Structures are given as structure tokens and as C-alpha cells.
A = this chain, B = another copy of it.
């Protein structure tokens, strides 16, 4: 299992402590689960969202809320994943309901106390080969040193570089953020040149800790260049909290080009995850913080947006640009045509709201005829829920296999070739695309 993009914390593996309770493991950190319960009238707080940890009573109550509302997940991938996790990892064969909630809770609790359910044991059981986790440029990555220097740990965990916050000059906390960036990098971020140097330095730090990719998620994907003096001027204005919001956006779009330039230089694969209106419901963010399920996609545009970047770096040797979307209309219209021409461009696997069986089928249907299989990224689980990693990959493999079987059945591919493609999509393709 190769996981080139996700959010499971490596500290889990470094500490290798027992998981505390079923709700904290399987419910609270997974906005796929909490989102739809909230939509049904269950309070996010009651599911443990925003808590540091749950008491046993709170955990049991959150678990019961899930089980009582089991029907709302019918037809969703959460249902598939949760069921597979219960059956395959915890041996639970009861269907969740108000009646069975406590029994299942107790059975999972019973498992969690065992050594076989500690993070490293699960890592091995899941047969994970690489586990990637997104980190902030200022983050201390010494956890990776701990893992690398631990003779009892044979896995591979690596960070990905995610500088979003430092590129959004309109954030009220931005001056403070770049100050911290300067400190982390040992560079003076008092001007634009120092800012670039600090980013380059932190990218090297990530590379030194195993990173092979960067991760960028802004509202749009535009990559419009600024003249260097203009970029420097806006940077200075933003430090003085005097940049307009238009200038802030212009600077961020320009910085995408700089990120691509740095990727050409240091070899980090550049991945884009744009097109999300974060914290659509601000009262929820104000109460519970970000990543609570109220991020909503917006329409995406890539053809014009990426043109300046691809004009410069689209055919650069070794440059890889993996583009993810939650707007599926761009698959056949924009991403497959671009990946079908530019050597650097790969279409990212179906992401977030689209990483479910029907959406994955639509993805292969929309992309393959123009870009084939080998200009796609291979599966990316992108999860915060450690135990969902195996079933997510399993689902993806079954769907790709099913799609390939369809091509064979229609005499569009030989069975032998289909088997080769199916295998390549699981291992060689993500390794090649993400330089693992």
C-alpha cells in the first residue's frame, strides 16, 4: 500500500501508544463520518469534533449516535469503509444500530487494548509501504528522525510540504506567519527575496526528511506572473498590512509559479488541490475550528489558469504536476487534455467528495479515453482516519479492476494487458508519479 498524500500523523507511529477509544479513532477525526451525521441533525460537538479527547461516556455516546443513524450512510462510501473496518480489522459482524451500539463499542474497546491494535502493528498488518503526511513549512519534522533512527521500525513515513498559509497575504495572521517562517528557516523574511529564500530553505529541510512532494490548496488554480519588483512591492505592503485583497490574490497566483520553479530545481512533485470554499459555515469554524466538514467545492478552471505555469515549466525535464479536482466537469474538458499533451502533467485520482465507487467510475470514464491510464496519479487515500487506509485502497483497486474488465469484455483491451495495467496502477504508477 502506497500512500503518497494524506493526513495521518506520524507521531502515532513514533509513539506507538494504544488507541484510546473507538470514537476518537473512527469517528471524531473523520469528517466524512461526522459531516453527514451533522446534516441529519446530530451536533458535531456530540461526535467529539473539537475535543482534545473524549471521556468514556462521551465516546460511548458518540458511538451510539453513529450507530443509531446508520441508515443515513446507505449508498455512501462511509458505509462501505466503516463496515470493512469493523469486519476486517475488529471482527465485528453485527450491523450498527441503537440496539447493537454498546456491544460493538465494547468489542472494539477490547481490541484496542491489545498489542496487535497498536499503530505499528496495524501499519504492518495494513502492509503500508509509504505513508505521507502533509505538514506546515514551519513544522518541526524531528518525528521523522525518530522513526528513521528507530531500529525496531522498518516502515517508511515521509512529510509533504504544504505552504498555503504563507502564500495568502490577506490572512490577518500573515505577518506573524512569515516571521515564524523566517525563524524556522534562519532567514530574514523582511523582504521578498528573503521570503523566497526561506521557502527554498524549508523545502530543503523537508527533502532532507524524506519529502518528495508539495501540496497546494487555494480557492483557484491561477498562475499569473508578476514582475519581480511588483511582487516585492506587494510583499512589503502586506508586511505593513497595507496590501489590498486583489494584491494578495495576485501575489498568491504569482507564487504558484515560484513553487513550480522551485520544484524544477529541488525535484519535489507539485500537487494541486484547489477549488474548495473552506469553512463555508463560519459559525461552525468559529466554534469548532477548520476541517469539520463544512468545506464546499466551487467550480474549477485549469486551462487558462495553468497556462502561464505550463508555458514555462510544462515540458521541463523531471517536473511533475499532479492536479486534483472536486469539480468533475474538468476531467474530460481540461485535465485529461492537458495530461494528454504535457509530459509534466498527471491527473490526480478522484479526491474528497469524489473518492467513492460511482465517482471513481466516472473519473476513469472521463479521463482514460484522452489521457490513458499512465497519465493518472494512482490512488491517493488523503485520509485522517488511519484504519480506513486499507479499505480505501481496496475499493480503488476493485473499481480499477472492474473498469479494466469492462474494457476486456468489450474487446477494447486484452486480458493480459488489463492485468498489467491493474498491477501498474497499484505500485509502479504512484511510485513513478510521486518519485517514491
**Residues on A facing B (Cβ under 8 Å):** 35-36, 38-41, 71-77, 79-80, 95, 277, 280-284, 293-299, 301, 303-304, 307, 310-311, 314-315, 326-329, 332-334, 336-343, 345, 353-354, 356-359, 362, 364-366, 368-375, 407, 410, 412-414, 417-418, 420-421
Contact = CB atoms under 8 A, between A and B. Distances in A.
A74 B282 CA distance: 46
Counting chain B CB atoms within 10 Å of each CB, the highest count among A283, A334, A359, A372 belongs to: A372
A310 B280 contact: yes
A238 B359 CA distance: 47
Given A280-B303, A281-B315, A338 B372 contact: no
Contacts of A307: 277, 280
A301 B301 CA distance: 14
A89 to B, nearest CB: 18
Nearest to A398: B410
A61 to B, nearest CB: 19
Nearest to A69: B374
A322 to B, nearest CB: 14
Contact of A328 (B77, B79, B277, B333): B333
A371 B284 CA distance: 19
A363 to B, nearest CB: 11
Given A71-B420, A95-B414, A296-B337, 11 more contacts: A35-B341, A36-B372, A76-B368, A77-B369, A296-B338, A298-B334, A299-B301, A299-B333, A327-B333, A332-B354, A358-B368
B353 A358 contact: no
A417 B358 CA distance: 19
A315 B283 CA distance: 10
Contacts of A75: 364, 368-369, 372-373, 407, 412-413, 421
A375 B39 contact: yes
Contacts of A343: 38-41
A353 B345 CA distance: 17
B421 A374 contact: no
A338 B297 CA distance: 9
A214 B76 CA distance: 30
A358 B361 CA distance: 11
Given A39-B341, A341-B38, A281 B359 contact: no
A337 B369 contact: no
B374 A353 contact: no
24 contacts: A36-B371, A36-B375, A39-B342, A39-B343, A40-B343, A40-B375, A71-B417, A71-B421, A74-B413, A75-B421, A79-B413, A277-B304, A280-B341, A281-B342, A293-B340, A295-B337, A296-B303, A296-B337, A297-B333, A299-B301, A326-B333, A353-B370, A357-B369, A358-B368
A410 to B, nearest CB: 7
A356 B80 CA distance: 29
A79 to B, nearest CB: 7
Nearest to A36: B340
A400 to B, nearest CB: 11
Contacts of A332: 328, 353-354, 359
Contacts of A365: 358, 362
**Sorted from nearest, which 5 A-B pairs have the closest CB atoms?**
A356-B369, A75-B368, A358-B365, A296-B303, A297-B333
B39 A371 contact: yes
